[in-house]
Amino acid sequence: MTVLNTIPDRLETAASSAGSITFVTGATDSAAYTTDTISWTQLHDEARAMAAALQSRGAGPGVTVGLLGPTSRLLITAIQGTWLAGATVAMLPLPMRLGSIQEFVDATQRRIANAGASIVLVDPALADFVPPDVAFTRLDEVHGSASAFTAPTVDPDSLAILQFTSGSTSDPKGVMLPHRCVTANIDAIRRGAAFTEQDTVASWLPLYHDMGLIGLLGVPMTTGANLVIAGPQDFLAAPLRWLDWMSTFSGTVTGGPNFAYALAARAARRAGDLDLRNWRLALNGAEPIDPDSVEAFVSAGSPFGLSASTPFCVYGMAEATLAITFPEPGSGMTVDTVDRRVLETDRYAAPTTSDHDDARRLPRLGRVLDGLELRVVDPETGARRQDREVGEIELRGESITPGYFRNDEATAAAFRAGWLRTGDLGYLVDGEVVICGRRKDVIIVGGRNVFPEDIERAAAAVDGVRAGNVIAFGTTGRKGRESIVVVAETKADDNGIDPVRTAVAERVTDAIGIPPSEIVLVAPGTLPKTSSGKLQRSLCRDRYLSDILEPV
């Protein structure tokens, strides 16, 4: 049996499948949308022509191609064309907010330089935002002939993807992902999710995010399964569209961060006629998972046939290519309920009942995937932890990155005796992984290790606070004691500010037993986020300490 351990090998095989890709574009003036469906065979032919054009520009093994543009047929063709040419794909993030255009231009320039991209392809709509000293080609100007394409010899150890991590105050690091890592993780995903060519995937995730590029595009693209794909702006403009796509196209697999399911739950309550009976897996990852949000999503979708077995709470990161642990498909969400105080003071996940005053519910994220090993260790000494003892998650295996591009110092710091240090705190129970939070974000107050996620969820439950737009962090006072600061976005008017602030203080105090020292309410769009939408706690803390945040 031939081992296909490069992406071009997989693409050639998938091109003969009966599957298709449907491009969905949302209308700007209504909830309607348009579709464009082509076979993977046709997309492959167009990608071969794109690859030939890229080869004429010097693309090939060892060359990095930077790609900037919204999700479109042209962009996805360019992604496949880059891989067929044997070059490395470096997806460049889109601007998150209109107020950060200059930040976007500066960040784009840094990423292009950090990636060493000698070829940069840009969607025409974004051409005016490319830094003036960056040489680029418009995507609609890359023309070639499939007959002129010559398939190069691609080494499985050569780079398929440069995946930039989410940066805060420093430049994001380029995670090196060779073909062998990507294909190994895709195989592990397929087995772990019981994925087949009969599945229909739906995605609106940005293609510069690993879940969007590798998970929800790469898996169907390399297997020939049906894919329905839209842009994140179409989902964010009308979250009900996501459910409608799953209904209209009989979608079986999709994914998104926790906040997306919270939005989908609210949208489902206003929905008319939907058929979600075919929805098999709803991958939930990329940010902390709130069990309440998952349960609300299931409750809202159940009248339309959504099964309680659909939630698929997972764990992954770019340095592992993408996926690390999956639960058993069809098992739904399983929650581990522990004593919050014991967790914070003793670093031990003591089981308790849900009606306990200090109960904290944490989703079990399943078992480690094929080809990977996982252990929980003392963050300082590396000594292995026992079940339910909290420590740092470390990994090794087939899909673990060899390191960061042109950054030996960061690479050396990321590994301990051959194991990747994830920076995530968690524990094992019955062989399954539970994540508590990020090591660098833990707030130490009165001998307790308080996780900011608990504070943020409590504050977000207050009327007037924008869900998913709360950041909590610790600051050191004059006496060397750490205190808690909560920064939350709100749409409340002048008369509503004080009641919201009071309610946040009460809700946080009730949740963790410690009153926050300060609550800062800011306007929508104020909190710093990464290009993939993750909250940047350290950058928010820096802005707070520098008096840059402007309270409403």
DSSP 145-157: -GGG--PPP--TT
Q: What pLDDT score does 169 carry?
A: 39
Q: What pLDDT score does 100 carry?
A: 62
* φ, ψ for residue 456, nearest 5 deg: -65, -40
**Among 533, 535, 543, which residue's Cα sits nearest to residue 233?**
533
- Is the pLDDT at 29 greater than 50, yes or no? no
Q: DSSP string of 311-337?
A: EEE-EE-GGGSSEEEE--TT----EEE
Residue that has been written with the tokens 């990423």 in this structure: 111
Q: What pLDDT score does 30 carry?
A: 47
Note the Cα 358 to chain centre separation in Å.
Answer: 30
Beta-carbon contacts of 375 under 8 Å, excluding residues fewer than 6 positions away, are 384, 393, 394, 419
Say what percent of the chain tops pLDDT 90: 79
Q: What pLDDT score does 61 carry?
A: 97
Cα distances (angstroms) measured from residue 298 to each of 291, 328, 462:
11, 18, 22
**Tens digit of each residue's pLDDT (9 = 90 or more) over 480-526:** 678 899 999 998 988 899 999 999 999 999 989 899 999 999 999 89
Say what percent of the chain tops pLDDT 70: 95
Q: What pLDDT score does 287 carry?
A: 87
**Tens digit of each residue's pLDDT (9 = 90 or more) over 462-475:** 999 997 899 999 98
- Token pair belonging to 268: 């489902």
- Is the pLDDT at 109 greater than 80, yes or no? yes
Beta-carbon contacts of 538 under 8 Å, excluding residues fewer than 6 positions away, are 168, 169, 440, 441, 473
Residue that has been written with the tokens 């890709």 in this structure: 21
Q: What pLDDT score does 472 carry?
A: 95
Tell me how far apart the alpha carbons of residues 544 and 552 are, in angstroms, rounded to a whole number.
14
**Tens digit of each residue's pLDDT (9 = 90 or more) over 396-431:** 999 999 999 999 999 999 999 999 999 999 999 999
Q: What pLDDT score does 427 carry?
A: 98
Mean pLDDT of 121-129: 93
Supply the angle between the helices 291-301 and 258-268 in degrees, to the nearest 10: 30
CA-CA-CA-CA torsion sign (93, 98, 104, 105)? positive
Q: Which CATH class, in words, describes the domain spanning 7-238?
A: alpha beta
**Tens digit of each residue's pLDDT (9 = 90 or more) over 69-79:** 999 999 999 99
- Is the pLDDT at 456 greater than 80, yes or no? yes
**Tens digit of each residue's pLDDT (9 = 90 or more) over 351-405:** 999 999 899 999 999 999 999 999 999 999 999 999 999 999 999 999 999 999 9
Q: What pLDDT score does 153 carry?
A: 96
**Tens digit of each residue's pLDDT (9 = 90 or more) over 240-299:** 999 999 999 999 999 999 989 999 999 999 888 999 999 999 999 988 899 999 999 999
Domains in the chain: boundaries: 7-238, 326-439, 442-545
CATH topology of domain 442-545: GMP Synthetase; Chain A, domain 3 (3.30.300)
What residues form DSSP beta bridges with 253?
201, 281
Give 326-439's CATH code, choosing from 2.60.40.10, 2.30.38.10, 3.30.470.10, 3.20.10.10.
2.30.38.10
CA-CA-CA-CA torsion sign (172, 176, 179, 180)? negative
- Is the pLDDT at 168 greater than 70, yes or no? no
* DSSP label at residue 387: T
180 in Cβ contact with 121 (< 8 Å): no
Residue that has been written with the tokens 């490069």 in this structure: 6
